[in-house]
A and B are shown apart, each in its own frame.
Chain A
Amino acid sequence: MDFPDDLQYTRDHEWCRVQGKRATVGITDHAQDALGDIVYLELPAVGDEVKKGEAFGVVESTKAVSDLFAPVSGKVVEVNSPLADAPEAINEDPYEEGWMIQIEMSDPKELSDLLAKAAYQKFVEEDAE
């Protein structure tokens, strides 16, 4: 299981890559593996507001439906639209090709609630027990 050092993580298994006021968001390697083959995706539109901890979209695998939760609040400034037609990219490359949305953060202080790699890894391992 791969959890890059430069990302921050939620307990709902999203990742967040911060550059200035912008946060790019996707789901973790653990999440894609647990879901299985991803076949459908619903994402917000550019301009939508998302709120930390609330659902911003839905991902469906062959066997399950899961909400996607926003790691931070703000306005959606970019959406990985090609993903809707090729959601398998989330399984294949969750941290690059499989990114979902970019949020312009309204309150960067919210980032302090996210987990660093080591803490997230520990969380996943404890979850598995």
Chain B
Amino acid sequence: MAQRTPLYDVHARSGARIVDFAGWDMPVQYSGILDEHEAVRTRAGLFDVSHMGEVVFRGPRALASLQKLFTNDLSKCADGQAMYGCLCRESGGIVDDVVVYRRGAEDLLVCVNAANRKKDFDWLSGHADGADVKNESDEWGQLALQGPAAAGVVQKLTSVRLSSVGTYRFTTGDVAGIPCIIARTGYTGEDGFELFCPPGKAAALWDALLEAGKTENVVPAGLGARDSLRLEMAYRLYGSDMDDDTTPLEAGLGWVVKLDKGEFIGRDAMRKQKEAGVPRKLVGFTLTDPGIPRHGYKVLRDGQPVGVVTSGTKSPSLQTSVGLAYVPSALAAEGSTFAVEIRGRAAAARVVKTPFYTRPR
């Protein structure tokens, strides 16, 4: 039986289309993926992301312990700041990509992917090294209000001055009278907030945000739009674009791997890989022929398979077909060309700069 978030009844009642996602009954769309995508780019959309997991590190060993499990450098993360990075195996393979919310050196919340809740907790608690590691995944509901209108809408419901909460910063406070972690984070490329709240209050918070957002025409949005929004930003999706057999260097996440920060699991393997040369890289590409690239399609060069597409869609904002693919490093430079096999046909593709979509200023 699939798991359900505290908002399942709300989704079902409001006519969302429900699908199975990583063992969760989740809304894939409300009014339609394209509508919701556009709403987030131009106004705001509200997402239920309560399926995400939360693992908390506490105690005097919390920071030191998590530093050894996380590729990015938490000594550069201030209290009240969030930081993106990976958890890696000794091999450098990615256990998960996560966001760490540093509430203090002795209190750090790790937000993990839904599909990896158990795997991550087992991995993290198995390497606790004296820290008190707790799986709080069932103790949090999580809503994401994303889009240019998001801040104005949340501000109507809280006395916290949101202009003082910068990007990738967070604070705590009441929203609609509900105690929340108010984080200026997200997965869409737009300004917005992720609100962590008690699960029993998630439905009340959902209703309050939609009500407060009526004048801005805020809409509920599903996983379909979340996926097209993140892909336009070339944000990686664990399980599609990377897994236990890919390293952050291969996945284009070298910017969150701080090899000089001190010891952490996977560092030696990645240092070796960097010295030897990364054999394949995840690149962003656009199709110059008709068609839509999809996860699993082959990358061809001179008719031979040399790589694989990990994500692809027709970008709703750009109206072009975009995707991410693993290719040999020799083909990874911007402007390199290859083909994507679509139903037996070779569709021409070109490596481009990411993000695919840039917010208008």
Considering the complex, which residues of chain B in the window 279-298 have a beta carbon less than 8 Å from any beta carbon of chain A? 290-292, 294
Q: How many residues of chain A have a CB within 8 Å of chain B?
A: 10
> Which of A34-42, A46-54, A106-114 is the interface stretch?
A34-42
Q: Residues of B at under 8 Å CB distance from A?
A: 17, 28-29, 32-34, 224, 228, 290-292, 294, 313-314, 316, 343
Contact across chains for B294 and A62 when beta carbons are under 8 A apart: no
Chain B CB within 8 A of A65 CB: yes
Closest A-B pairs by Cβ, 5 of them: A62-B33, A37-B34, A39-B314, A40-B292, A60-B292
| Any B CB within 8 A of the CB of A58 | yes
A63 on interface, CB distance cutoff 8 Å? yes
- Asked if B313 and A62 make an inter-chain contact with CB atoms under 8 angstroms apart, the answer reads yes
> With A36-B224, A40-B292 in contact, is A63–B343 under 8 Å at CB?
no
**Bound: A99/B292 CA distance, A:** 22
Closest to B28 in A: A63
- For B343, what are the chain A residues with a Cβ–Cβ distance below 8 Å? 58
Chain B residue with minimal CB distance to A34?
Answer: B17
11 extra interface residue pairs, beta carbon distance < 8 Å, beyond A39-B314, A58-B343: A36-B17, A36-B29, A36-B32, A40-B290, A40-B314, A60-B292, A62-B33, A62-B34, A62-B314, A63-B28, A63-B33
Chain A residue, CB-CB nearest to B34: A37
| Known interface pairs A58-B343, A62-B313; A39-B292 also in contact (CB < 8 Å) | yes
* Contact indicator A63/B224 (Cβ below 8 Å): yes
Asked if A65 meets B228 with Cβ closer than 8 Å, knowing A36-B29, A40-B314, the reply is no
Q: Pick the contact of B224: A42, A58, A60, A62 (CB < 8 A).
A: A62
A94 to B313, CA, bound (A): 23
Question: Contact between B294 and A65 (Cβ–Cβ < 8 Å)?
Answer: yes
A63→B295 CA distance, assembly (Å): 11
Q: Are A37 and B292 in contact (CB under 8 A)?
A: no
The docked-state distance in angstroms from the alpha carbon of A42 to that of B316 is 19
- For residue B133, give the distance in angstroms from its CB to the closest CB of chain A: 36
Q: Please give, as numbers and ranges, the residues of chain A lying within 8 Å of B34 by CB-CB distance.
A: 37, 39, 62
A-B contact pairs, 30 of them (CB 8 A): A36-B17, A36-B29, A36-B32, A36-B33, A36-B224, A37-B32, A37-B33, A37-B34, A39-B34, A39-B292, A39-B314, A40-B290, A40-B291, A40-B292, A40-B314, A42-B290, A58-B343, A60-B292, A60-B314, A62-B33, A62-B34, A62-B228, A62-B313, A62-B314, A62-B316, A63-B28, A63-B33, A63-B224, A65-B292, A65-B294
